[in-house]
Amino acid sequence: MCGRFVQLPVAAFGQPGLADLAPGLAGIEPSYNLAPTQRASIILDRSEGQQVTRMAWGLLPLWAKAKGLQGKTTNARIETVAEKNAFRTAFKKRRCVIPMAGHYEWSVSPEDGKKDPWFIHTEGPLLAAGLWEDTSPLLPDGNLGTFTIITGDNSGVSADIHDRMPIWLQASQIDDWLTAGSDDAMATLLASEPPAMEAYRVSRAVNTPRNNAEGLLEPVA
């Protein structure tokens, strides 16, 4: 699962083919505690070339009758993403990449039974595989659409904190992920390997979505 994440401006991915994305990546609005339904920057291709745009977290298919569905579609499981009604059309036609500086997961404190957040990250930017949909009639005018993050079994450093994690892509895979057929796209997800990551405990202030400041990333004892 991915319940909150961090986005920061990205200087470069070191891939010549991604040069056109540089201005959009450098202009990412910093957010230290992105929560479901909030807007985040994602990379997609509307058949006009790759671009960085902002969409609301929690995918809403055009057939959705209630905005409350967003709370259930922030993540799409790799095991069912190609068949589940909410995701299958987007998996075929509308894939995206979500740049992250890291994400949060929670453990239960043995001292008081409350939830302790952990910040999970690596040295450089992370790229999560995702799906997107055009704006829904349920969203306010001017909303560019919605997205979800694809997750799989956790085999990384945070496996003892949570059994799910985002599916991570390499910068060199962005083109193929956005344009490949469904079978090749699934093969990319299944072959994904997590980068070397670190995890440390941070303040419980993360538990409140309205808290959004750089200090949330400071480790606590």
- The 10s digit of each residue's pLDDT in 177-193 is 999 999 999 999 999 88
What is the model's pLDDT at position 215? 97
DSSP track, 56-81: EES---TT---GGGGGG-SEEETTTT
Nearest to 102 by CA among 80, 129, 81, 120: 120
Mean pLDDT estimate for the chain: 90
Contact assessment for residue 125 and residue 102, using Cβ atoms and an 8 Å cutoff: no
What is the model's pLDDT at position 205? 97
Rounded mean pLDDT, 77-84: 95
Query: Is the model's pLDDT at 28 over the cut of 90?
Result: yes
Rounded mean pLDDT, 165-171: 92
Domains and CATH numbers, the chain: 4-217 (3.90.1680.10)
What is the model's pLDDT at position 221? 79
Rounded mean pLDDT, 33-58: 94
Q: Tokens 């909030």 label which residue?
A: 38
Most confident of 9-23, 99-113, 160-174: 99-113
Name the pLDDT band for 19 (thresholds 50, 70, 90).
confident
